Amino acid sequence: MAKTVRVCVGFAALAALLLIVRLGTAQTKISTAGHAAVGSYFGMAIQVCPSGVAPSACANGQPASALFMTPTVLADGLFVADDSFALLGAPFGPHLSAHGSWEPFSPTEFTADYVFMSNPYPPVASGVAIAGLRARWLAKVVDAETVTGYVNAYFLPPVPVVWQPLVRASDFPVLPPEAAPFYTSPSGYVTDPSLCRTADCPLVFKFTLKRIRK
């Protein structure tokens, strides 16, 4: 009987400990609502070339890029942005506004993931298709006016736009497999392109943002 009581007490203590750990984890999650990053910004991003590579052939033989951007980091965790590439031609533009989400991991640091749609480059041989870009931020609030960080940019392959028969009330469109990169995030972040050795390395940019004030 004493052994049974000790076992029950042991299980109860373990359950209480797990509850405390879970509550502690929930309480330490940082809210987007009051985070220092919330706001609208104007800024500039500069492409980072691998060590020893000339800016005239920064990545894939293409010259290094620079752009201006106007991102908005919303209190509900959503992220929207535009950039000056939207005014230019292929391969970066023209493109639609960027949409995504962001998440803080410290009182001043956060990550963001977003996508935008563009015309395929080069154009597809037949049919209708869209392409796009997936971007990931690793960023830090430096002061009340400034955010700095890195962007990883991944070009997305063309996605065919094809009509589908929806006969039954329960039928809804099925996303083609080519669309998966638009809503599935890559893993990790690259801050030094010299250290990325895989075929799917992103373009790496460093940026500085200034808060837009009244």
Q: With H, G, I as helix, E, B as strand and everything else as coil, classify residue 117.
A: strand
Domain ranges of the chain: 30-211
pLDDT higher than threshold 60 for residue 19: no
pLDDT tens-digit readout, 66-113: 999 999 999 999 999 999 999 998 888 899 999 999 999 999 999 999
This prediction has a pTM of: 0.84
CA dist 1 and 6 (Å) reads 9
Residues whose CB falls within 8 Å of the CB of residue 72, separated by 6 or more in sequence, listed in order: 39, 40, 41, 79, 80, 81
pLDDT tens-digit readout, 152-181: 999 999 999 999 999 999 999 999 999 999
